[in-house]
């Protein structure tokens, strides 16, 4: 639905910190689903951990936040230019990591809107590999001028 080139038109993130490859489902003001393909060539695996590569939980949360950022921008009034705005990650609650994510996995993100008041967003985020829950958290964000 939204490919990586289009995501880069919405979000300011770039390699190696753009952590969502594709958006596959989006309902404005409700839900977004996207994914990142985890590859052994990702720079993070040089140090996390060379003999036992595990994708860091903090990057899973950041990928969820970026996916939620796409939903927030796509839900805004058409008169707002995403290039003049940025999403700030303002909080994480109840983060839990259930299973490790490894190279070769497809990390699926699902972000549901819990609250939206103006530029403030609260999402329930979940991440899955092969349909199994690997991480979840409540994420808070705010859209501000650059």
Spatial contact of 22 and 106, defined as CB atoms under 8 Å apart = no
Identify whether 13 is a catalytic site residue: no
Spatial contact of 32 and 71, defined as CB atoms under 8 Å apart = yes
Residues 6+ apart with CB under 8 A from 44: 16, 55, 56, 59
DSSP H helices, 1-146, are: 4-10, 57-75
**Locus of tokens 């909080």:** 91
The DSSP-derived string for 113-137 is: EEEEETTEEEEEEEEEETTEEEEEE
Using DSSP's 3-state secondary structure scheme, residue 112 falls into strand
Residue from 21, 31, 44, 48 carrying the catalytic annotation: 48
Residues known to be catalytic: 48
């Amino acid at each position: 639905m939204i490919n990586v080139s289009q995501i880069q038109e919405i979000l300011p993130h770039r390699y190696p910190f753009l952590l969502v490859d594709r958006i596959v489902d989006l309902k404005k003001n409700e839900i977004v689903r996207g994914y990142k393909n985890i590859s052994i060539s990702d720079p993070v695996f040089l140090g996390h951990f060379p003999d036992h590569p595990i994708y860091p939980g903090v990057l899973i949360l950041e990928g969820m936040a970026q996916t939620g950022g796409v939903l927030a921008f796509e839900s805004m009034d058409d008169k707002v230019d995403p290039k003049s705005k940025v999403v700030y990650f303002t909080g994480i609650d109840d983060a839990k990591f259930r299973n490790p994510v490894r190279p070769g996995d497809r990390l699926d993100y699902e972000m549901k809107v819990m609250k939206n008041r103006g530029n403030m967003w609260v999402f329930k985020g979940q991440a899955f590999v092969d349909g199994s829950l690997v991480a979840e958290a409540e994420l808070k964000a705010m859209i501000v001028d650059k």
